[in-house]
Amino acid sequence: MNQALLALYNYAEFVPDKVDRWLNFAASPPLGEVAPDFPLWDLDGRETRLSALWSQQRLLVVEFGSFT
């Protein structure tokens, strides 16, 4: 795990200088377009793939990030 990247991501305060670097909505797939497949881990540390979850559900919401 990249400790420097992790330290940047786990910021202590929710201010533009610390948050804006993580907002890159322009690089997100447009609404209605299939998202790229990538690995995901559940809360128990088990790995799966986004495509495996798609095969189980018609609609899928994957939540990322820190909500403070």
Render pLDDT for 22-47 as a digit per residue (tens, 0 to 9). Answer: 788 888 888 888 788 989 888 888 99
Report the C-alpha gap between 30 and 26 in whole angstroms: 9
User: Phi and psi of 7, rounded to 5°?
Assistant: -65, -40
The model's pTM: 0.51
Report the C-alpha gap between 1 and 37 in whole angstroms: 21
Would residue 62 count as lying in a domain? no
What is the total count of domains within the chain? Answer: 1
Residue 13's domain comprises 3-54
pLDDT at 9 exceeding the cut of 70: yes
Would residue 7 count as lying in a domain? yes
51 and 45 Cβ atoms separated by less than 8 Å: no
Q: Please give the residue that has the higher pLDDT: either 68 or 53.
A: 53
Which pLDDT score is estimated for 59? 82
Share of the chain above pLDDT 90, in %: 4
Residues in Cβ contact with 18 at an 8 Å cutoff, skipping those fewer than 6 apart: 11, 12
